[in-house]
Amino acid sequence: MKFFTSTLALVAVTSLTGSANAFSSPRVAPSIVRSASSPLTGQYAKSTSTELNMKMFSFNHNKKAVKPTLSKKKQALKFLCKTAATLSFIALATSAAAPPALAAKKAAAAAETVEHLHVGQKVANYFRGFGLPDLAILAVISAMPVIELRGAVPVGLWMGLPITQVLPACVIGNMIPIIPLLFLLKNDSLKKMMKPILDRAEKKSSALGVGSLEKQWASLAAFVGIPLPGTGAWTGAMGAFLLGMPTAVAISSIFTGVVSAGLIMSAITLAGKKGGLTALAILAAITGKEFLSGEKETEESKQDFLEADPYWDQSNVPVNVYKNKAPFTGKVVSTKRIVGPKATGETCHIVIDHEGDFPYWEGQSWGVIPPGVREKDGKPHSVRLYSIASSRYGDDMSGKTGSLCVRRATYWCPEMKAEDPAKKGVCSNFLCDTKAGDEVQMTGPAGKVMLMPEEDPKTDLIMVATGTGIAPYRGFIRRLFTEKTPAGEAYEGTAWLFLGVANSDALLYDDEWQEVKKNYPDNFRLDYALSREQENKKGGKMYIQDKVEEYADEIFTKLDNGAHIYFCGLKGMMPGIQDMLKGVAESKGLDYDEWLKGLKKSKQWHVEVY
């Protein structure tokens, strides 16, 4: 009974402290800040001080009123955690001390007489019915998702087996499904089938993708190794796969975690009250760190340490800091396919670590120099540009990474009626094939055409994309809605995203847009043109210009009122767009060329196509 009381107490505490992310918080202390005391020089001062991150901006909170403030949530969490911790200590302190073997016998006897069996015990009884030996039963239970080794170790004790046999059986059992799982997930159909589970695993393990491969290894081992609700080898394996972690690295890290979880569970089980208290203390120390520093973290988690002064001032945007002759060497954090099996072609999301040494602004591009030399003349490959798909803070909001959204360029040979690998795109294939830890030679940041106008926070943004043209808008949208940036806090306009792709499997970052739409229904609009799934009003394929045309009146009014319109993606999108806009302008009695000239003059017209 004592063991179960302890476990229950632990579960209560850990559940209330917010599971996995409690110990692997993605928040990284800011390392690059603009010096608050020095005048604006356009340089980024390196500092570890968090004081400089304190707000220099006055915020308009109207738009964000839909979300409760983080500090209130933290306060509630803190109160709940403290209450749970106190109750747990009382429960542990009042439970009678007894030798572990006796406790095990008592537990078994109580379970049998009262017939109130623990899930693991019921599963064990079920397998015993098939005549399976006890160690095999333990391995089977350990192999099960959710229960895993953490559930099997106490069952082993309940069976009266020595821990020296229980631990190896549980470790082996827990690892058995993990290795094939890591390989099976490479299968597209299986991945699609498992999408809901993978989406959940991705959220729970999102913090694992931060930092170097060594850091990822350690985060994954901790994720698997500390037996908190929502963590474990199954979720860890799915997270590692989704983050593109090399399989061998993932296996060694998960194995370390499983052994560690086994040791912790054994300690709790063997040492009875002492073990329970020790584990409780360890877990409280780990999870408590988060809630005890709740207020501080709220300040730190603001994305405001890479801002100009004022934040909308674009006079010192970094451009071409790294050139072809002296490129920057970035390191791949993760490479992930982000389209479904029926998408036309492959598109990958690639996160690159620049250690804070390669700052950029939303809407800029990075150049990538693919390794190797050109076949035709033996000279190094030329640089290819890729729009940066994250905000300046990166996906992990550390200010040390940037992301690209790259479509793999393939060549369809009409004679062969097949893809010709000899003619595949050099750089896009290099990038889509990268693995965590690979080096990438980079130039830039390039371009100012696609910057966001932030001086007037009421400015409407109309963002039109085909395929990977979505990349710069992801940076915009994260800055305005997902991150706690001064631009986002101030924003009161409407950001309207139009995305054109072939079919729903080819949609890019749909889950992110849906989340933003849910949180900011008054400030974010979303429209898709799925050319192979939808029809335009004439009964033809729905191309991006057809979708934009549906809202032509509204768009023209917004542009009249100062909205900015952006176009990004394949070059081929522009003629259709221009024809459509010309038709609409003429139907309104406007001179299209004059109208366009006016938009360009007032810098409301932004085009980046390739």
Task: Enumerate the active-site residues.
Answer: 386-387, 568, 608, 610
Q: Which of 38, 310, 411, 540 binds ligand FAD (CB under 6 A)?
A: 411
Q: Are the C-beta atoms of residues 223 and 239 closer than 8 Å to each other?
A: yes
What whole-number distance in Å separates Cα of residue 149 and Cα of residue 393? 38
What are the tokens at 37?
Answer: 């005391």
Residue closer to ligand FAD (CB basis): 64 or 392: 392
Q: Does 386 bind ligand FAD (CB under 6 A)?
A: yes
Q: How far is the CB of 286 from ligand FAD (least distance, A)?
A: 39
Q: Which of 406, 463, 490, 516 binds ligand FAD (CB under 6 A)?
A: 406
Q: How far is the CB of 119 from ligand FAD (least distance, A)?
A: 48
Residue closer to ligand FAD (CB basis): 231 or 335: 335
Q: How far is the CB of 513 from ligand FAD (least distance, A)?
A: 17
Q: How far is the CB of 361 from ligand FAD (least distance, A)?
A: 14
Residue closer to ligand FAD (CB basis): 204 or 407: 407
Q: Does 610 bind ligand FAD (CB under 6 A)?
A: yes
Q: Which residue has the tokens 């750089």?
A: 427
Q: Are the C-beta atoms of residues 20 and 231 closer than 8 Å to each other?
A: yes
What whole-number distance in Å separates Cα of residue 503 and Cα of residue 362? 27
Subset of 541-600 contacting ligand FAD (CB under 6 A): none
Report how far apart, in Å, the C-alpha atoms of 559 and of each of 458, 460, 568, 580 are: 13, 8, 18, 15
213-221, 298-306, 409-417, 585-593 -> range binding ligand FAD (CB under 6 A): 409-417
7-15, 222-230, 248-256, 401-409 -> range binding ligand FAD (CB under 6 A): 401-409
Q: Which residue has the tokens 């110990």?
A: 23
Q: Which of 52, 77, 132, 385 binds ligand FAD (CB under 6 A)?
A: 385
Number of residues that bind ligand FAD (CB under 6 A): 22
Q: How far is the CB of 409 from ligand FAD (least distance, A)?
A: 4
Q: Which of 207, 220, 405, 462 binds ligand FAD (CB under 6 A)?
A: 405
Residue closer to ligand FAD (CB basis): 211 or 402: 402
Closest to 549 in 3D by CA, of 518, 519, 585, 523: 585
Residue closer to ligand FAD (CB basis): 386 or 393: 386
Q: Which of 170, 264, 427, 477 binds ligand FAD (CB under 6 A)?
A: 427
Phi, psi of 442 (to 5 degrees): -130, 150
Subset of 480-499 contacting ligand FAD (CB under 6 A): none
- From the DSSP assignment, how many helices (H) and strands (E) are in the chain? 22, 15
- What's the gap between Cα 233 and its chain centre? 19
Q: Does 608 bind ligand FAD (CB under 6 A)?
A: yes
Residue nearest to ligand FAD (CB): 425
- Under DSSP, the state recorded for 113 is H
Phi, psi of 349 (to 5 degrees): -105, 120
Q: Are the C-beta atoms of residues 485 and 391 closer than 8 Å to each other?
A: yes
- Under DSSP, the state recorded for 20 is G
Q: How far is the CB of 146 from ligand FAD (least distance, A)?
A: 39
Q: How far is the CB of 320 from ligand FAD (least distance, A)?
A: 13
Q: How far is the CB of 526 from ligand FAD (least distance, A)?
A: 20
Q: What secondary structure does DSSP assign to 379-444, as a single string?
A: PBPPPEEEEB-S-TT-TTSSSSEEEEEEEPP--EETTTTEE-GGGS-HHHHHHHT--TT-EEEEEE
Q: Does 426 bind ligand FAD (CB under 6 A)?
A: yes
Q: Which of 269, 365, 403, 523 binds ligand FAD (CB under 6 A)?
A: 365
Q: How far is the CB of 427 from ligand FAD (least distance, A)?
A: 3
Q: Does 425 bind ligand FAD (CB under 6 A)?
A: yes
Which residues have CB under 8 Å from 94's CB, separation 6+? none
Residue closer to ligand FAD (CB basis): 213 or 406: 406
Residue closer to ligand FAD (CB basis): 264 or 427: 427
Strands 401-407 and 384-387, how do they pair? unpaired
Strands 401-407 and 347-353, how do they pair? antiparallel
Q: Does 428 bind ligand FAD (CB under 6 A)?
A: yes
What whole-number distance in Å separates Cα of residue 234 and Cα of residue 149? 11
Phi, psi of 465 (to 5 degrees): -135, 145
What whole-number distance in Å separates Cα of residue 581 and Cα of residue 574? 10
What whole-number distance in Å separates Cα of residue 503 and Cα of residue 530? 5
486-491's contacts with Cβ under 8 Å and 24+ in sequence apart are: 486/55, 486/57, 486/59, 486/304, 486/307, 486/311, 487/311, 487/312, 487/452, 487/454, 487/457, 489/57, 489/59, 489/60, 489/61, 489/64, 490/57, 490/59, 490/60, 490/454, 490/457, 491/63, 491/457, 491/523
Residue closer to ligand FAD (CB basis): 277 or 471: 471
What whole-number distance in Å separates Cα of residue 405 and Cα of residue 408? 10
Q: Does 604 bind ligand FAD (CB under 6 A)?
A: no
Residue closer to ligand FAD (CB basis): 128 or 424: 424
Closest to 577 in 3D by CA, of 598, 562, 591, 592: 592
Interface mask toward ligand FAD for 447-476; x: CB under 6 A: ---------------------x--x-----
112-120, 267-275, 418-426, 575-583 -> range binding ligand FAD (CB under 6 A): 418-426
Interface mask toward ligand FAD for 87-126; x: CB under 6 A: ----------------------------------------
What whole-number distance in Å separates Cα of residue 131 and Cα of residue 151? 21
Residue closer to ligand FAD (CB basis): 318 or 598: 318
Residue closer to ligand FAD (CB basis): 568 or 584: 568
Which positions lie near ligand FAD, rule CB under 6 A? Answer: 365, 384-387, 405-407, 409-411, 423-429, 468, 471, 608, 610
